[in-house]
């Protein structure tokens, strides 16, 4: 029996864990989402109101987002996307330097955006690792807010979603509405004043159609991570309200311009880690 003990210990050490047992999933993903309206201190007046480029001051009483779903996409059986190499840019891009590449369509594109594009292309035709519905409306502010996510799809354990073998490549988020409630004041005085001194009440629900994505790379399979964390961060920046003439009714082209600004001032990032180490 003593002679068998070293052999038994050695077998135990090399035997795969529960993720590789018959009928068990290949891996798990713990997904979280936070959101924030990011406003630097320099953009606030003495009363904590947001100063816009057009010299208005906005007291944001409530800012809400309607996030329909988040999803993680993967291509089955792959070992992950090819690394983006600035010295050998993908088709459609040239002259990569200082964090961006020149696009054949004109303009400069950040490395992160190109990586996200490549990730989306690699995920095409793949499957959804996890699609989690969230609360219909989420109130966000200048402090980071944790967005409550719904249950994982079938085959899950608590907040950990079971996944199959393959390469996770991109995280996606669908945003369909932004609601703003507050009051706008004019910082100009005298004859230059555009709004009443007491300000103007604002209550707007703006329909948007934004499918945001961010690179989120991890492999699942034998001898690969079996437990990954994906921390998604949604940021709505301070420039959202710039360029809007609040002395005009938010109708027609003005309202459409506001909705467009929302799309231009949203950002999604994904931080991928491991909890199986």
Tell me if 102 is assigned to some domain.
no
pLDDT at position 59 over 90: yes
Give the tens place of pLDDT for each residue, 211-255. Answer: 888 999 888 877 666 789 999 999 999 888 887 888 877 776 667
Quick check: is 13 in a domain? no
Q: Which domain holds residue 31?
A: 18-82+125-274
Residue 202 clears pLDDT 60, i.e. is over it? yes
Q: What is the pLDDT of residues 76-118, one digit of tens each?
A: 554 434 445 677 787 888 888 767 788 888 888 877 677 666 6
DSSP annotation string for 23-92? T--SEEEEEEEEEEEE--GGGB-TTSPEEPTTSEEEEEEEEEEEEEEEEEEEETT---PPPP-TTSPPTT
Return phi, psi of residue 201, to 5°: -70, 140
Number of domains forming the structure of the chain: 1
- pTM greater than the 0.85 cutoff: no
Which of 126-130, 151-155, 160-164, 178-182 has the highest mean predicted lDDT (pLDDT)? 178-182
The verdict on residue 51 lying in a domain is yes
Average pLDDT value for residue range 145-168: 78
Q: Does 25 reside within a domain?
A: yes
48, part of any domain = yes
Which carries the bigger pLDDT value, residue 244 or residue 122?
244
pLDDT band at 34 (very low <50, low <70, confident <90, very high): very high
Asked, for residue 91, whether it belongs to a domain, the answer is no
pLDDT at residue 5 tops 60: no
CA angle 142, 145, 150 (to 5 degrees): 150
Q: Is residue 112 domain-resident? A: no
Is residue 10 in some structural domain?
no
Name the band, by pLDDT with cuts 50, 70 and 90, for residue 187. Answer: very high
């Amino acid at each position: 029996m003593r002679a068998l003990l070293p052999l038994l210990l050695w077998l135990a050490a090399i035997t795969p864990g529960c993720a590789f047992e018959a009928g068990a999933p290949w891996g798990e993903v713990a997904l979280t989402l936070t959101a924030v309206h990011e406003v630097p201190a320099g953009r606030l007046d003495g009363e904590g109101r947001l100063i816009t480029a057009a010299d208005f001051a906005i007291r944001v009483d409530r800012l809400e987002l309607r996030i329909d779903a988040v999803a993680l996409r993967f291509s089955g059986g792959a070992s992950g996307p090819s690394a983006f190499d600035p010295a050998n840019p993908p088709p459609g891009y040239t002259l990569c330097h200082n964090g961006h590449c020149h696009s054949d369509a004109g303009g400069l594109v950040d490395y992160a955006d190109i990586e996200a594009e490549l990730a989306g292309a690699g995920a095409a035709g793949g499957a959804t690792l996890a699609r989690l519905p969230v609360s219909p409306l989420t109130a966000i502010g200048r402090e980071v807010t944790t967005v409550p996510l719904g249950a994982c799809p079938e085959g899950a354990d608590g907040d950990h979603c079971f996944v199959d073998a393959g390469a996770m490549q991109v995280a996606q988020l669908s945003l369909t509405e932004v609601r703003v409630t507050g009051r706008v004041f004019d910082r100009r005085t005298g004859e230059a004043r555009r709004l009443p001194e007491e300000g103007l009440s604002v209550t707007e629900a703006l329909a948007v159609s934004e499918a945001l994505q961010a690179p989120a790379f991890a492999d699942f399979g034998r001898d690969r991570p079996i437990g990954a964390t994906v921390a998604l961060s949604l940021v709505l920046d301070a420039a959202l309200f710039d360029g809007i003439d609040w002395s005009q009714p938010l109708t027609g082209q003005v309202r459409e311009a506001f909705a467009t600004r929302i799309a231009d001032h949203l950002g999604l990032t994904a931080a991928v880690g491991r909890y199986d180490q």
